[in-house]
Structure 1
Amino acid sequence: MPNPHMHYADASSPTTTAGTPLADVPQIPLTSRGTPTEAGWPNKGRLHIDSIHVGYLADGLAVLDVDNKNGKRGSRELKAIFRSLGLQPKISTFATATPSGGNHIFWQDPRIGLTNTVDAFGHVGLDFRVGRNGYVRDFPSPGYRILNKRPIEPMPGKLIDYFGNKIAERRARLAARSTGLGGVVRHTINGLEYAVYNAPIGQRNATLFWAASRVAEMPAARHRSALRAMRRAAFDIGLGHDEVEKTIASAFGGAA
């Protein structure tokens, strides 16, 4: 079904990945539900758990998942961004259609600090999957088809500037809200979110565990909003969903 908001080449869908950029993207094992197997994550071999579900590691890529289900209108959000930047709502890079009426748009990772995120920067229905901690289920999994059988291109410069500014604004906002005298992070929700968001590579899981442990010490009425902030920051720095949930559950003694 053609997308009424963004324009794609709408090429006829091939039956295999041969001749498409997906042929060169590392595949990962998936369960029958389309989620990565624990043993195969991140596995850069060209494997999948069965002959149905195929997943791809977003290593070196920034894949935009445009979600149009459950009340989300990602295509409209994306079109609005393009128009605000003076861009035509036309996708020239490799792209696929998803079973729910959305799209996966593949760009080369712009290396601006973009990470896995849901409803990116307040744009409901626009999710990014970036780097070795990100993956997408895609063609030839059932219901997926190729729209643009084209090379994976760099992200347009105006989009790089737009998302780069959003990243800088968020970091500055968190820093301004979350540091006290001497730059000591307070044990507030904002402060804990800031700590996770700025955790150095190699200490991200440990920082998330520490922050979630501080949340566990808060009144129960604050747990939901605090954990939402912890998850958002953890996903933004590239931690995987299962990794985040296990860490939080561990901090809460097995359940959160």
Structure 2
Amino acid sequence: MTTDITPSNIHYDYSGAAVLVTGGTSGIGAAIAEAFQASGAEVTITGTRSTASDYELDLSKYQYLQLDVENTESIDSVANALPRLDILVNNGGVALPSLGLDESDPDVFQRAVQMHLVSAHRMAERCKDKLAKSALPGGASVIGIASMSSFFGMEIVPGYGSAKTGLVGMTRALAVAWGKHNIRVNAVAAGLTASRMTAATVANAEWSAPTLARTPAGRLGEPTDIAAPVLFLSSAGASWITGQTLAVDGGYTISG
């Protein structure tokens, strides 16, 4: 079973909105960027390579900025390069075991927390003043990409899971602090979603079969499954929603 959701049938009007999607060159980030762009937004994406032309994909419809989420100066540089901002999607990063690294090693654990939590907080703080000037209906938004590891202990990703758990707490804290600035802060907790980062997991039946068996929707996620809720949470229709983490997982978290 597959989804028939595409960026072209996710119907929102973001004409003129300025959006930053970190890690927007592949997977979930690319789907989010494409959905916003198809809805009229002016989208900036970040990636790890020097220029957009270094990628095999055609990224010409976006503004591209290089970002190293482990480098504070790089984060500051991206935030400073934006003339204005209405929506920040903190998506950049990678589960380090997918690169063959062991997150139980304290140094690798620290990298994972820096990559997925500390960097997201720094980017949000550095973008705060621009977000506070937004005239977007429903207010400006910060959207974090959380995970099932925000809710469950997963032995293989102790650093990633700890960071994604922290992201849920950060979402609540910033929502409380920034409501007075007309900035809403929410997160989407993605279930097992097909992407370059999860390719090995999806292909490994020992991992994917139990997840699929527990998922009432009967399938694993596609990047567009995550993009659509991100656009909703950033919209005027969600103007009274802040500090929340929405599980987008085909029902995995509620299945006994």
Using structure 1 for the length normalisation, give the TM-score.
0.25
Computing the radius of gyration from Cα coordinates, the structure with the larger value is: 1
Q: Which has the higher helix share?
A: 2
Using structure 2 for the length normalisation, give the TM-score.
0.25
